[in-house]
Amino acid sequence: MARRPASTLHLDWNGKLGIRSTFFKSSDVMGERVDHVQLGSFADQLRLRPGDTIVAINGTSLADAKSWDLAIDRISKLGGWITLKIQAGDTGTIAYRTANLGSLIEE
């Protein structure tokens, strides 16, 4: 039986953003593929959908699973504004979504 390569499952900080994701890389796209969006969550309000890929955060491309972890860690500590560059899973179109995450950060 062939073994599937391990993927890295990511949960956002303390479940506040409301997504589960895995790092994804293909010839067309590289970034954090959204696996699940919690209804009513911040991610839902940003219109993230399963299958979408977050390809950059605040202008920084997500080159590997570690870059996602570092970006989320930095954002969770600093709060403030975040801009996500997203490739839609159903159409492949690129969209930018900006929001203030300050209210999600615990003091």
Per-residue model confidence as pLDDT tens digits over 14-48 = 466 788 888 888 888 899 999 999 888 888 888 99
| The pLDDT value given to residue 104 | 54
Residue 94's closest CA among 83, 78, 81?
Answer: 83
Which H helix or E strand runs over 55?
Answer: strand 53-57
- Chain-wide mean pLDDT for the chain? 79
pLDDT confidence of 106, banded at 50, 70, 90?
very low
- Per the document, the length of the chain is 107
List the single range of 58-62, 84-88, 91-95 with lowest mean pLDDT. Answer: 58-62
Average pLDDT over residues 47-72: 88
Helix (H, G, I), strand (E, B) or coil at 58: coil
**The pTM is what?**
0.78
